[in-house]
């Protein structure tokens, strides 16, 4: 092995070790970010979903017990509400509205105008869900 080859190999090995270290740091950063998303977003959402499921079951149980509504009525109503936004996709999507201040489209997802800050008054308790 001549001197040039020796130094070339040394440089290659040094570069490989440096890249291995950088990959290790990147993996650590990605794992920390995933853990943060899990703990700060997914876990709270699961808790809210569990609570919502419990409340919904309690409401359905009371409704069935106190009225003559049956499960087929519930199934039909779910389908009717699902179809209200024009898509049978298992969710209720409220259509965007025109901002009364600046006439921009306001996504009901954010429930405020992103251009001028207008906040539409709540009409129903479900408007903020
Ligand atoms: Zn606006």
Asked if 81 contacts 90 with a C-beta cutoff of 8 angstroms, the reply is no
Instruction: Give distance in angstroms: CA of 119 to centre of ligand 1.
Output: 9
Q: Which residue has the tokens 């009525």?
A: 73
80-129 pLDDT per residue, tens: 999 988 889 998 888 888 999 999 998 887 878 999 999 888 777 776 66
Instruction: Give distance in angstroms: CA of 91 to centre of ligand 1.
Output: 26
CA distances from 95 to 40, 81, 92, 105, 120 (A): 29, 13, 10, 10, 14
**Per the confidence metrics, is the pTM higher than 0.75?**
no
Residues with CB under 5 A from ligand 1 (ion): 99, 101-102, 104, 113, 115-116, 118
CA distances from 60 to 46, 51, 71, 81, 94 (A): 21, 14, 9, 16, 24
45-66 pLDDT per residue, tens: 999 999 999 999 999 999 999 9
Instruction: Give distance in angstroms: CA of 118 to centre of ligand 1.
Output: 5
């Amino acid at each position: 092995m001549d001197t040039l080859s020796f130094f070339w190999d040394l440089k290659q090995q040094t570069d490989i070790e440096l890249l291995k270290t950088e990959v290790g740091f990147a993996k650590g950063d990605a794992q920390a970010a995933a853990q943060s998303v899990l703990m700060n977003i997914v876990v709270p959402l699961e808790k809210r979903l569990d609570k919502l499921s419990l409340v919904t079951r309690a409401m359905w149980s009371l409704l069935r017990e106190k009225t003559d509504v049956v499960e087929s009525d519930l199934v039909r109503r779910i389908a009717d509400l699902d179809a209200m936004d024009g898509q049978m996709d298992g969710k209720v999507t409220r259509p965007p509205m025109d901002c009364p201040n600046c006439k921009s489209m306001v996504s009901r997802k954010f429930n405020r105008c992103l251009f001028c800050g207008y906040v539409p008054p709540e009409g129903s308790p479900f408007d903020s869900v």
